[in-house]
Structure 1
Amino acid sequence: MLAYTVYSEAGGVGKTTLAANLAKAEVRAGRDVLVIDLDTQEASLSHLLDVADERNDSEADSLLRHMIDRPRGPVEDLIRTSEGIDIVPAHNILEYASKHLRRREEEAADFGETFNPNKQLLRVLREAGVHETYDTLIVDPPATADIKLHNAIHATRHVVIPFEPSGKGYESVQGLDQLVGGLEDNLDIKVGVLAVVPNRYKGMNDQDRFLETLQEDGWDIPVTLRERSSMLEGCWAEQCTAYRYVEEHRDRKRDHEVETLEKIDDLAEHIRLQTEVPA
């Protein structure tokens, strides 16, 4: 099973859009795909794919309930489907994930039990047989390095890093190198970086220099995604992937947008060829 987390500590770099479109590219390749949305922002993957109808429902079951052993039904009932992608949507209660998971850890300790708050997503997925049902698992966590990110990376062991090719973006990638190292030590796992993905590239000389420096540092940059503001803004307006937006909401196909979709397909294939590990 291929499993990875799409993460950047810098906001506004297209993390969620990339996660959704990589999931669609995997579906187009004939794979069964599950995406888990751990981001509590309203503009999350759940909103983009139009499956956020229970986000504010206090009576609804949620992934966090399963992670703290208080489910209201089977994991399968959490799943929604959009464009052939199975999705576990985000719920507002995820905002309090750290509090509830830490409390559950303290309760377990009181009874002489062990409860690792960073391993609960992995436990839930294993118990639900996700590794037997799906070919690809993609997790979209928040941009903050909190307990939700720790669970995402502990479950997937691999990351894909989108970034904007700028000085700030370069620093964010370098910071992620340190973050990954810290997570490896704290979680006692090895974390692989499957790809670094420059997004919103405009062909400027300064951007080229940053990309060259990253490649010299050993980062794998399989594709470069150019600035496509109109298409991506349209995706959010229509709540769909770029593939559906180009197919259903453009009166004519634009060569540069088709090229971008082809690059996302290429990126998905490149990631698949890097490694396949059990989640």
Structure 2
Amino acid sequence: MFEFSGLSDDKELMPFFFMFFLLVYMVTIIGNLGMVAIVYAFSSLHTPMYFFLSSLSLVDLFYSSVITPNMLFNFFSARKSISFLGCALQLYFFCALASTEIILLSTMSYDRYVAICHPLHYTLIMTKKKCFGLVLFFTSLSFLQSIAHVCCVFSLPFCGSNFIDHFYCDIPPLLKLSCSTNSLRRQKAFSTCSSHIICVLTFFTAIFFTYLRPHSGAFEIQDKVASIFYTTMTPMLNPLIYSLRNQEVKRILVQAMQKSRWFR
């Protein structure tokens, strides 16, 4: 059994944190579900770009649900605990879905590259079968590589304290509880790839700060703040950045609202 420290020890801030992250989670759910529904409902959006957008929304939906509900529950829990198996599962799905999101962002970059540089051959290159195959292959690959992350971390001997100085099960705070050396695990903990600029800056800056800085106990609070961005904020921002700013999606939303009974 592990215990979390949470975001803060200040109990007066708990109601604010709860309301803020509940709002963020609700926007995340509504925004990503809305994007999937729009792409599914309108045949004009049945293109590779929107297929990848809807896939990204599904990943964000599950990705945020791995961390946020438990974090919300722990805001008012006297004992913020999680079982050994629960911690392993949380880390597994967190790593798997985070990797899937990274690869999806890169795949979306490839799709835009083909559309811009090879417009005449775009439909021949980015077929439905190929798009589905890319998403299925990379998702399977991400879930397989996540097994390696979890096995490496939980094969280490844990001794002494079971106190995780974080609000969820992540690799760096778990490594602190290990009795053995983990320098090799730290060297292979993270790798990056090119992606869309806005989400990359939000997503990777926080991860770089957490995983690639020199080890020091003085940055524990900053670690938690950085983790907030790639566990709760990025899944909320993705449908706004990639979807609601898209002119085609905005046009369809306006048409749908005009046709609905509410706006008659």
Q: Same fold (TM over 0.5)?
A: no
Q: TM-score, normalised to structure 1's length?
A: 0.28
